[in-house]
Amino acid sequence: MVPMTDLDQAVAKLARQRHGVVVAAITGDSAEVRGTAGHDASTRFEIGSVTKVFTALTLARLTLDGRVSLDEPLSDLLSAPVPTRDGTAITLRHLATHTSGLPRLPTGMLLGALLRPNRTDPYAQCTESYLLSALSRTRLGATPGRRFRYSNFGAGLLGLALARRAGVNYETLVADEVITPLQLSGTSIGGTTTQGYRKPGKPAGPWHLAALAGAGGLRSTATDLIRFVRAHWDPTGLLAPAVAMALDVEHRVNPFLTARLGWMSRRLQGGQVQIFHNGGTGGFTSFVGFDPAKRVGVIALSDTQRSVDTPAFALLTALQSNA
């Protein structure tokens, strides 16, 4: 019997309670991809909150171009009432590092979800007017910049604010700044994906995040995400300066976890660092993680609403150990 590789083991673990998965193990300029249920490197999935790193990289590019500043108040871009606390305004940096003090969801949205638990697309109502109205009613949970509090609301507002400053919609902006330069032909806000499932045998409807798209609206493929990850260790790439900015900004959450621009990073006991983000929608889960120093990375995409994090982190750790 041929022994299973670390990649094969990760796929076997993920396949047990999911309809289908695609997993990629990246080492330098090479990558191995495995899929189940007929999926392969070209299969499109909803990637959920992995979208946030595309939004943050867009922020970095606009900052380097001088069109925005990391420490520019959100109110300057939205031209709408934005809450403050202790005299401190929310900035774009705060939104990208989840330190704005904003709640996880737009104000009032949680109650709506509780009243309509069977709604298949919970973010469809998040138009610009809805988000700005919710923002005007929001009381911040902490002084901006003080404390990490993961916020889909904040990330979505960041995408909306950047699009307003650029004079285009979010889909066009992220395409201009990240998707087209990296030639990610399978990545977009719209378009079809493979069928997603709440659990095997229970299909889920697609999610459309409306004006909150910057928090989780992208669809993508393993092929595109491999290219995206490699851009984070290419010192000569078109997006290299923006990548460097995104990874250099830090807000320490605890001794082992740090928020970057869009990304999270964790330090293992052996001192190794893993840059990562995961995502989830009504019928999909995703994970993208890498070590830019060792030039290894992992992509895990599932068509089922069940976290892929544990096997994906284990595979990334194994790749780091073998690099």
For residue range 94-122, list pLDDT tens digits in order.
999 999 999 999 998 875 554 455 667 88
Q: What is the pLDDT along the chain (323 residues), one digit of tens a residue?
A: 345 699 999 999 999 999 999 999 999 999 999 999 999 999 999 999 999 999 999 999 999 999 999 999 999 999 899 999 999 999 999 999 999 999 999 998 875 554 455 667 889 889 999 999 999 999 999 999 999 999 999 999 999 999 999 999 999 999 999 999 999 999 999 899 999 999 999 999 999 999 999 999 999 999 999 999 999 999 899 999 999 999 999 999 999 999 999 999 999 988 899 999 999 999 999 999 999 999 999 999 999 999 999 999 999 999 999 98
Distance separating alpha carbons of residues 302 and 295, to the nearest angstrom: 24
Distance separating alpha carbons of residues 182 and 230, to the nearest angstrom: 10
The residue type of 241 is P
Mean per-residue pLDDT over the chain, rounded? 94
pLDDT of residue 112: 53
* Phi-psi category of residue 131: left, alpha or beta, with phi > 0 → left and psi -120 to 50 → alpha: alpha
Determine contact, residues 49/277, Cβ cutoff 8 Å.
Answer: yes
Q: For residue 21, what are the contacts with CB-CB under 8 A and spacing of at least 6?
A: 11, 14, 15, 35, 36, 37, 39, 300, 301, 302, 303, 308
Give the residues across from 33 on adjacent strands. Answer: 24
DSSP 192-259: --PPEEEETTEEEPPP--GGGGGGT--EE-HHHHHHHHHGGG-TTSTTHHHHHHHHH--EEEETTEEE
Determine contact, residues 214/189, Cβ cutoff 8 Å.
Answer: no
pLDDT of residue 89: 98
Count CA atoms closer than 13 A to 252's CA, side-chain side: 4
Distance separating alpha carbons of residues 131 and 83, to the nearest angstrom: 13
pLDDT of residue 271: 87
pLDDT of residue 115: 45
User: Span 6-322: which CATH code?
Assistant: 3.40.710.10
In three-state secondary structure terms, 317 is helix
pLDDT of residue 270: 84
DSSP 95-154: HHTT-S---SS-TTHHHHHHH-TT-S-TTTT--HHHHHHHHHT---SS-TTTS----HHH
Distance separating alpha carbons of residues 149 and 98, to the nearest angstrom: 5
Determine contact, residues 32/55, Cβ cutoff 8 Å.
Answer: no
Q: Which of 167, 209, 215 is nearest to 190 (CA)?
A: 209
Distance separating alpha carbons of residues 55 and 114, to the nearest angstrom: 29
